[in-house]
Amino acid sequence: VSQELESSTSVGGQFYRRYSELVSAYGEVWPTPGLTSISATTQNRSASQTSVENTTVGMYVQEQLSWQNRLFLTGAVRGDDNSAFGVDYDFVTYPKVSAAWVVTEEPFWNYDFANTLKLRGAYGESGQQPDAFVAIRTFSPVAGPNNVGTVTPDNLGNPDLGPERGTEIELGFDAGLFEDKVGVEFTYYYQKTKDAILLREIAPSTGFSGSQWVNAGEIKNSGIELLVRGTPWETSRHSLELTFNLATNDNEVLGLGDVTDEDFISAGTYLRHQIGYPVGSWFSPRVVSAEFDANGTAINLRCDDGHGGSTDCSGAPNVYMGRTVPSTEGGFASTLTLFNNIRLFAQLDFKTGFTKLDGNYRVRCYFFAECRENWYPTEFDPAKIAEIQAAGTYAGAILDDADFLKLREVSVSYGVPSEWVSRVGARSGNITVAARNLYTWTKFMGLEPESTFNGGSRGGSFSLWEQNVLPQLAQLVVTFNVSF
Amino acid sequence: MSAYRVNDKKNRERTRNTVSYLLRALRRTPALGTLLVAGTLMLPSGCGDVLDVQPPDLIPAEGLAAPENAELLLNGAIGDFECAFGAYVALTGVMAHEMIDATQPAARWPYDRRNVIPNDALYGTSDCTGMGIYTPLSTARWSADYILENLQGWTDAEVPNRQELIATAAAFSGYAHLLLAEAFCTVAIDLSGELSSSTVTEMAIARFDTAIQTAQAAGATDILNLARVGRARAYLGLGQDSNALADAQAVPADFEYVATASGDFSRRANRVYAQNGLGSSAGTALSVGEAYRDMTYNGQPDSRVPVSDFIRVNTDGTDLYLQLKYMSLDDPLPIATGDEARLIVAEVQGGQTAVDIINDLHDAVGLDPFPGGSASEIANQVIEERNRELWLEGHRFFDIRRLSLPLVPAPGTPYRKGGTYGDNVCFPLPDVEVRNNPNVG
């Protein structure tokens, strides 16, 4: 446009088709050794074929303005239609606008400690498409009486299903300090998702089973993302680099639209999407006090009434027991380089502000009576024993804070001298010894705060349910890389 | 175009809306022109077709409910019932201790131990191959009602043999309702509130009424007798003995209606045999209940309860005994029989009629005759005859509830694999229904 103002316009279209097909064959028992094909098996032979297809047609137009290479303004709009939208849902458009200001390019900037500083802000709308075929009610082919081909109800579907729409505001800055020895990236985000696509269970009395995707009202997410990098020591042969990252999330269901008359929808056993609370939170009645009778049976149970008091447990409400998504997570990493070819690396990760269910404790103590709590109940808090003895009504005894700090990796890497590797015709070589998952600091009652088993009625992707799963194993990995 | 093309209506609307959007955008933004022309050249026949995806392994419901698909849907409903029925027989058999659990993992112990809780996933949400019963029975109930309602809306000209198909759909709906009522303490139907067993039994009777009327009109004798046995069973459960008697007396002694089975498909396998039986394709996840391992009458083995000692202890420590009533995955499971009808007659009438019926049944398997006795002795023998004659046919669990029979082992007795026996005589309404049905709880 001029020497100071540049303009760039772009338009585009998109046709995106995702098609995946899985074909599998199964068989048992080869009659003699040496056979390897499925067709040579003699029992329970079966085959299956599934495919998923999803198509999106989209287009966009974007205009970007740049003034003196220090102020940038971008506006864009895109539109999509998708094969997975419900019958009653059509084309969707997403606008966005963003601005960035490189303050250090301004003549008035006289602060030497900050060699680069960019302020940025953005507003945008985006969408998340439903999965293929989930909107339509379907039957699946099965063998019927006398093995005739027939159909059975499969997916309940949802004719009103459309994309979820997110509106997000981001504010932040990128800074380089002390000649880039320290770098800071900071972002604050505030996101509102309308028509959030959530999975809800289906009551089997409908004739269908499993789950149904619904556009369930409004969800708010906000938080910060921080990355700090530093190089406190650097010479021609040695250096120390440190990195710290932190992300927080405040998540809340603001509304559930018209998919329910209640203030929640169930997401699985003890799990709800409930207005006023984070998505996929734990809910259960909670015993707050009890007494023991002469046999060690908990009696006179009182439960949380949800308003700071207590009530008789027979009609006690489900109360909030914690969120499944960590509210804070981050990590710290350091890399010490010595003599340019020895590299010592260590990384710590942490997650806090979430609650996990110990399913192993649940089955051992609630159902199989194999815990000390079952045989010597009076050694324990009667409120906890009351929950255990109720065998499933209450989740308080099996939910626990899952905060942890984990020494994720410690490694040492050595660059093998080139004259050594050149003997085998290589240009360079490197040997690394890494130890992973060395130690976890946590008060979580179960085996490990990170391992989960996700199952349909256990909450699917929202579930933090530990049962019959291995904890993350400590690993010692030795790697030898050679480049030719 | 396939008979099951996805959402033609949606695609037509999409095409209109998308094209109009593009045209509006084109008028406002000439720069889009080149792109649109290129896009149009690339897309073979417009966005409607582009977005027209076909799920090759699924059948969209839209358009399926058509007269030409009546038999397909009815067979689907029967298939759903057969699938649910197999699991029902096996799982209620465990609750009634006709069979006992022989697995090391503890997921099924609560059934063996009769202390099932509402959030147990197995009976609530599992499919029939996983021994679930609430979801499979609910699906079978819905499928039968769905085709029944459609059939009643179509005409005889549209659907050949419509009356017989209506009778069949109504009979299977009746049975699905009845099994839900018998097995569950309370039931929900189509997101209803919590219904008592007797209310759902009345709903079953209404379906059987329809089945009987239309089967009589269509001359469909097998369905007629199936519905008569079902209605007699339902009346018996409600204590309406004279109605039960009238239906049962009308059923021929040699009548039998079965749920077909096949080892070719896991959902169609004889579920009892899949869990316990003799042969390489049989499972050993169950063993025969202690009371049924050596059933005799006057010292004579009772061949109605054929059992073999496998002389093996399973990994959980359970002695394995094999039922020999079903000998393959293909063996059908009786849904309704003339013998059941005769036992209903014997139970209602008692006296010499009952003794005669018992002795007919004994004679058929070479047992000594029952000499009779007091009214209560005869009544008790009828109950025992039901126990043996209808073994592993899905009756014992409700008989325990209906007749207040003693639970063996008694509640509170230590369970061999941990915990103590409970007192379930019916399944609680599963949490999956309570949590997701706005009219329950």
pLDDT digits (tens, 9 = 90+) for B119-165: 787 899 899 999 999 999 999 999 999 999 999 999 999 999 999 99
pLDDT score, position A465: 87
- Of residues B3 and A51, more confidently modeled: A51
pLDDT score, position B314: 86
Q: Mutation target for A interface from B45, B139, B177: give the one with most A CBs within 10 A.
A: B139
pLDDT score, position B304: 98
Residue B139: its chain A contacts at CB < 8 A? 152-153, 204, 207-209
Residue B20: pLDDT band (50, 70, 90) is very low
- Put simply, whether B57 touches A (Cβ < 8 Å) is yes
For residues B17 and A85, give the distance between their C-alpha atoms in angstroms, rounded to a whole number: 14
pLDDT score, position B7: 38
Q: Which candidate from B13, B18, B189 shows the least CB-CB separation from A205?
A: B189
Q: What H or E segment, with its residue span, contains residue B94?
A: helix B70-95
Work out the average pLDDT over A347-360: 95
Is A139 a residue whose pLDDT tops 50? yes
Chain A nearest-CA distance from B85, in A, is 12
Distance of CA A61 to the CA centre of its chain: 31
Q: What is the DSSP letter of B40?
A: H
- Which bin fits A123, alpha (ψ -120 to 50), beta or left (φ > 0)? beta
Residue B29: pLDDT band (50, 70, 90) is very low
pLDDT score, position A159: 81
Average pLDDT, rounded, for chain A = 89
Q: Mutation target for B interface from A8, A151, A198, A201: give the one with most B CBs within 10 A.
A: A151
Is A388 a residue whose pLDDT tops 50? yes
Work out the average pLDDT over A244-273: 88
Beta carbons of B414 and B113 less than 8 angstroms apart: no
Is B235 a residue whose pLDDT tops 60? yes
For residues A243 and A424, give the distance between their C-alpha atoms in angstroms, rounded to a whole number: 37
* Phi, psi (degrees; rounded to nearest 5) at B110: -60, -25
| Amino acid in position A277 | Y
Is B282 a residue whose pLDDT tops 60? yes
Nearest residue on chain B to A85, alpha-carbon basis:
B10
Nearest residue on chain B to A54, alpha-carbon basis:
B53
Work out the average pLDDT over B305-320: 91
CB contact under 8 A, A136 and B6: yes
Beta carbons of B170 and B227 less than 8 angstroms apart: yes
Residue B59: its chain A contacts at CB < 8 A? 138-141, 151, 154
pLDDT score, position B56: 65
pLDDT score, position A89: 59
Q: Which candidate from A9, A51, A83 shows the least CB-CB separation from B56?
A: A51
Lowest mean pLDDT among A133-142, A404-413, B69-78, B342-351: A133-142
- Put simply, whether B29 touches A (Cβ < 8 Å) is yes
Work out the average pLDDT over B104-115: 86
Lowest mean pLDDT among A219-228, A361-370, A458-467, B293-302: A458-467
pLDDT tens for each residue of B186-205: 999 999 999 999 999 999 99
Chain A nearest-CA distance from B248, in A, is 26
Roughly how many angstroms between the first and final C-alpha of chain B, as a whole number?
A: 46
For residues A165 and A144, give the distance between their C-alpha atoms in angstroms, rounded to a whole number: 42
Chain A nearest-CA distance from B172, in A, is 13
Taking Cα atoms as reference points, which of A9, A321, A453 lies closest to residue B35?
A: A9
In angstroms, the Cα distances linking A201 to A274, A365, B127 are: 14, 27, 15
The model's pTM is 0.74
The 3-class SS string of chain A reads: CCCCEEEEEEEEEEEEEEEEEEEEEEEECCCCCCCCCHHHCCEEEEEEEEEEEEEEEEEEEEEEEEECCCEEEEEEEEEEEECCCCCCCCCEEEEEEEEEEEHHHCCCCCCCCEEEEEEEEEEEEEEECCCCCCCCCEEEEEECHHHCEEEEEEECCCCCCCCEEEEEEEEEEEEEECCCCEEEEEEEEEEEEECCEEEEECCHHHCCCCEEEEECCEEEEEEEEEEEEEEEEECCCCEEEEEEEEEECEEEEEECCCCCCCCEEEEECCEEEEECCCCCEEEECCEEEEEECCCCCEEEEEEECCCCCEEEHHHCCCEEEEECCCCEEEEEEEEEEECCCEEEEEEEEEEECCEEEEHHHHHHHHHCCCCHHHHCHHHCCHHHHHHHHHCCCCCHHHEEECCEEEEEEEEEEEEECHHHHHHHCCCEEEEEEEEEEEEEEECCCCCCCCCCCCCHHHCHHHCCEECCCCCCCCEEEEEEEEEC
Window B:59-88, CB contacts with A under 8 Å: 59-62, 64, 72-73, 75-76, 78-80, 82
- Of residues A6 and A136, more confidently modeled: A6
For residues A427 and A416, give the distance between their C-alpha atoms in angstroms, rounded to a whole number: 10
Residue A457: pLDDT band (50, 70, 90) is low
Beta strands across the sheet bearing A319-323: A264-268, A271-274, A281-284, A319-323
Beta carbons of A215 and A235 less than 8 angstroms apart: no
**Most confident region among A13-27, A467-481, B102-116, B385-399 by mean pLDDT:** B385-399
- Of residues B94 and A51, more confidently modeled: B94
Lowest mean pLDDT among A308-312, B240-244, B396-400: A308-312
Q: What H or E segment, with its residue span, contains residue B175?
A: helix B162-183
Q: Which candidate from B117, B262, B280 shows the least CB-CB separation from A147?
A: B262
| Amino acid in position B57 | D
Residue A391: its chain B contacts at CB < 8 A? 115, 117
| Amino acid in position A401 | D
- Of residues B41 and A142, more confidently modeled: A142
**In sequence order, which residues have a C-beta less than 8 Å from that of residue A51 and are 6 or more positions away?**
A19, A20, A21, A22, B55, B56, B57
pLDDT score, position B3: 29
Tell me how long chain B is: 441
Residue B117: its chain A contacts at CB < 8 A? 391-393
Residue A265: its chain B contacts at CB < 8 A? 436
Window B:382-441, CB contacts with A under 8 Å: 417-420, 430-433, 435-438, 440
**In sequence order, which residues have a C-beta less than 8 Å from that of residue A55 and are 6 or more positions away?**
A15, A16, A17, A18, A82, A83, B50, B51, B53
Residue A43: pLDDT band (50, 70, 90) is confident
Taking Cα atoms as reference points, which of A177, A170, A66 lies closest to residue A117?
A: A177
CB contact under 8 A, B62 and A205: no
Average pLDDT, rounded, for chain B = 89
Work out the average pLDDT over A226-250: 96
CB contact under 8 A, B191 and A205: yes
Residue A210: pLDDT band (50, 70, 90) is confident
Is B48 a residue whose pLDDT tops 80? no
Lowest mean pLDDT among A67-81, A143-157, A345-359, B30-44: B30-44
CB contact under 8 A, A137 and B60: yes
Is B223 a residue whose pLDDT tops 70? yes
pLDDT score, position A364: 87
pLDDT score, position A455: 58
Question: Residue B30 in 3-state DSSP?
Answer: coil
Nearest residue on chain A to B51, alpha-carbon basis:
A83
Nearest residue on chain A to B180, alpha-carbon basis:
A205
For residues B80 and B61, give the distance between their C-alpha atoms in angstroms, rounded to a whole number: 16
pLDDT score, position B44: 39
Lowest mean pLDDT among A286-290, A297-301, B184-188, B364-368: A297-301
Residue B16: pLDDT band (50, 70, 90) is very low
Chain B nearest-CA distance from A137, in A, is 5
Lowest mean pLDDT among A14-28, A344-358, B244-258: A14-28
| Amino acid in position B254 | D
Question: Residue B300 in 3-state DSSP?
Answer: strand
Window B:319-358, CB contacts with A under 8 Å: none
Angle ∠(B120,B76,B205) on CA atoms, nearest 5: 75
Sign of the alpha-carbon torsion through B278, B415, A359, B267: positive
pLDDT tens for each residue of B354-364: 999 999 999 99
Is B50 a residue whose pLDDT tops 80? no
pLDDT score, position B24: 45
Is A292 a residue whose pLDDT tops 80? yes
Residue B57: its chain A contacts at CB < 8 A? 49-51, 140-141
CB contact under 8 A, A152 and B10: no
CB contact under 8 A, B139 and A207: yes
Residue B145: its chain A contacts at CB < 8 A? 207
For residues B128 and B89, give the distance between their C-alpha atoms in angstroms, rounded to a whole number: 11
CB contact under 8 A, B55 and A51: yes
Is B428 a residue whose pLDDT tops 70? yes
Residues above pLDDT 90, as percent of chain A: 52
